[in-house]
A and B are shown apart, each in its own frame.
Chain A
Amino acid sequence: MPSATMMIDGTVEEASLGARAAARIRLERMFRAHHELIWRTLRRLGLSADLAADTTQQAYLIAAERLGDIRTGSERAFLFSTAIGLARTNFRRSQRCQLQSDMDLHIDPGVRAEQVTNHCSAVELLDRVFAQTDPDLVTVFVLFELEGLSAPEISQLVDIPVGTVASRLRRARATFRAAARRMELAHAAQQR
């Protein structure tokens, strides 16, 4: 039995259905376009694959609730900021998974030469570098070096001036390159 309002305006239900379908399609597009970038960034911030997926998912759930608030073209900024905020609030650096507290920047004695070229080992090594680095620097580094975003894009996404993007990137690079060099030397020493 339709309500009185429905009888007055029979298009209410159809309009609501259409709007919901449009919302779903928009969310689908957002998911396909951005979820990997968000997940990868969270991974480099130290979250396990599982936690990164949970946090990415949470960001999208919040986006689903606030879809009407998100301006077209601002989807990535909304999702990214939300995901980073969630990661900082919930997981902190103490939640770094798959990393032991006594890990340092030196390569494990057990890691052999051929393992360095192995995908998982390389990712683990990179994460060891980042485990010792300020997350703000890691974020800028990941967006620039791995995701290919420009400085203005990063500036908008992270909500910092372009000059700050540049300075963070310089510091992050210096940290990364120094750590990579140490690992390489340790690796070479093992070969001898």
Chain B
Amino acid sequence: MKDLKPLLREGASDFERQLLSAAMRERPSPQLRSRMRRTLGLTGPIAWAGSVKAMLATVAGKGVIGAAVVGLAAAGVVALRADPGERSAPRTEVAVEAPSAAPAVQAPLAAQPEPAAQPEPAAQPEPAAQPEPAAAEPAVAESSRELREEIQLLDEARSALQRGSSSRALEQLDRYRQRFPSGVLRREASLLRQQATAAPRPSGAAR
């Protein structure tokens, strides 16, 4: 296998070369690329234009949400396989980082300067971003507000946990559960709850 070289470098006939070269040159059209970027919220200055919930709702509209769940399961396997040494590690890092991974944008956020303002220089020219369709904005804004609230509640719970106040963290998590029984970040909430439940109570705390 070590000695094996791609056909294009060695041994391909002219006809094979034509087929392979054509496939290598194929790229998503600017329209498709732009569409992907829009859906992922990678356009505009603060471009988390839709929450994960809104984006997954778009995906669901295409009838593939079930697959996303399957994909998530598969992705989890990949993440674990990436470092077998951490296979049995507690998922505290997930609880710490996952909420921040959830993209969200709202009016108050847009008013603030963006941290680490622009992404790295493009390795390739990207097509100009298309403006978001105005009709989708109210739903996206509502969804983003909800996600922001979810993030805030979990941030508060995590912060309380980091200060050693597991009871305060559990209060916040109760609020989260009541407010968002099917929230986007419910897995993270569940992990935080496990941590809060397992956390040692401060000395002097009522038993």
A residues apposed to B, CB below 8 Å: 3, 5-6, 8-9, 12-13, 15-25, 27-29, 31-33, 35-36, 39-40, 43-44, 49-50, 52-54, 56-71, 73-74, 77-78, 81-82, 85-86, 89-90, 116-117, 119-120, 122-123, 125-126, 129, 142, 144-146, 148, 151, 159, 162-163, 165-166, 169, 173, 176-177, 180, 183-184, 187
- Measured CB to CB, the closest approach of chain B to A160, in angstroms, equals 12
A86 touching B68 by the CB < 8 A rule? yes
Of all A-B residue pairs in the complex, the 3 with the closest CB atoms, nearest first, are A68-B97, A19-B100, A67-B101
A44 touching B101 by the CB < 8 A rule? no
Q: List 11 A-B contacts (CB under 8 A).
A: A16-B155, A20-B102, A25-B119, A40-B23, A62-B68, A68-B96, A68-B101, A73-B82, A89-B70, A116-B15, A126-B20
B40 touching A61 by the CB < 8 A rule? yes
User: How many B residues touch A, CB cutoff 8 Å?
Assistant: 85
A64 touching B103 by the CB < 8 A rule? yes
Closest chain B residue, CB of each to CB of A43? B26
Give the chain A neighbours of B24 by CB distance below 8 A: 146
A180 touching B15 by the CB < 8 A rule? yes
CA distance A62 to B94 in the complex (A): 14
B residues apposed to A, CB below 8 Å: 1-2, 4, 6-8, 13, 15-16, 18-29, 32-33, 35-37, 39-42, 47-48, 52, 55-56, 59, 62, 64, 66-68, 70-72, 74-79, 81-83, 93-94, 96-104, 109, 112, 114-116, 119-120, 122-124, 126, 151-152, 155-156, 159-160, 163, 168, 172, 184
